[in-house]
Amino acid sequence: MTKILVPTDFSANSKAGIRFAMQCSAQQKSELIFIYILHAIRLPQWPEEAFKKYADSEKIIYEDKLKKFIAGMYKSMHVKPGKYSCIVEQGISPDISIMDYCRSRKDIEFICIATHGAGKLKKLFGTNTGNLITKSEVPVIAVPKDYRRKPLTQLLYATDFYNYKEELKKVEAFALPLKAKIKMLHLTWPYEVLPDAKTIEKDIKKGYRFGISLQIHKINLIDSLYVDLQKQIAKLKPSLIIMFTDQQRSLFQKLFFPSKSEQLSFSTTIPLLAFHKK
């Protein structure tokens, strides 16, 4: 059974990630683990024992609040709850605490979190969602704040053709329980030497029962690769876009050439699943 970690801060924006996770759970057998990161503030004069007592009491309060919040979400969406649990963890930084929790739970396969955009400074230094996409060992599903629950029927896998056979295995593993079709998209530069498209199409149609198709699109040199990708998303209207992001880039690259998947998470109108590119 797929296990999905779903962070929330009780805000309206965070509900988008919850809605998407509930949709996934409705289409396939998956266990949802809802998590809230509690930052218990310690007063300077408090001894360790007094702070621990306070933090433990706060944790109990927020565990009850989280249970009621999630029960209310299921009720408002008219969704029959599957297997799920509610966890409250203490930590200062949500993204770091979420990654630490995943390291302690090797069975978690995806993190599903809402994203609501970011200003210029936050784009540069990262948001919780952006930091998770570029640092988490666990694949991250970034869900735009306006997302409304609907069936996941077609997945768009954006590929550069490097190691696509291994990447496609992960895409297929995610898509199969959803019974979703897969469309592979490659944005090509003029004069780029491409692998033989017919050979690739022959390879990708083997074994996956719900259909895989390939589309190669020449980019417009007037626009950036990012803008062209957005145009293809608007044209193809997938339920989800899947990308593989390189987490080993230098600081200079991160500042001046941000990850396409991280950049997309700030403005996409559909959910984005970001895998770690090997």
Q: What is the pLDDT of residues 145-169, one digit of tens each?
A: 888 888 899 999 998 888 888 999 9
Name which of 62-66, 161-165, 167-171, 200-204 the model is least confident about.
200-204
| Phi-psi map region of 80: left, alpha, beta (phi>0 left; psi -120 to 50 alpha) | beta
Beta-carbon-side half-sphere exposure of residue 172 (alpha carbons within 13 Å): 16
- Count of residues for the chain? 278
What residue spans define the domains of the chain? 2-144, 154-276
The answer to whether the 2-144 and 154-276 domains have the same CATH topology is yes
Count other C-beta atoms under 10 Å from residue 176's C-beta. 14
SS3 71: helix
CATH topology of domain 2-144: Rossmann fold (3.40.50)
Report the share of the chain in percent with pLDDT over 90.
44
The rounded distance, in Å, linking the Cα atoms of 143 and 239 is: 11
Count other C-beta atoms under 10 Å from residue 267's C-beta. 13
CATH topology of domain 154-276: Rossmann fold (3.40.50)
Given a cut of 80, whether residue 83 has pLDDT beyond it is yes
Task: Give me the mean pLDDT over the 169-188 stretch.
Answer: 91
Q: State the average pLDDT for the chain.
A: 84
- This prediction's pTM: 0.87
CA 74, distance to chain mean position in Å, is: 21
Going by the DSSP 8-state scheme, the letter that residue 245 receives in this structure is E
Given a cut of 80, whether residue 274 has pLDDT beyond it is yes
Residue bearing the bigger pLDDT, 231 or 120: 231
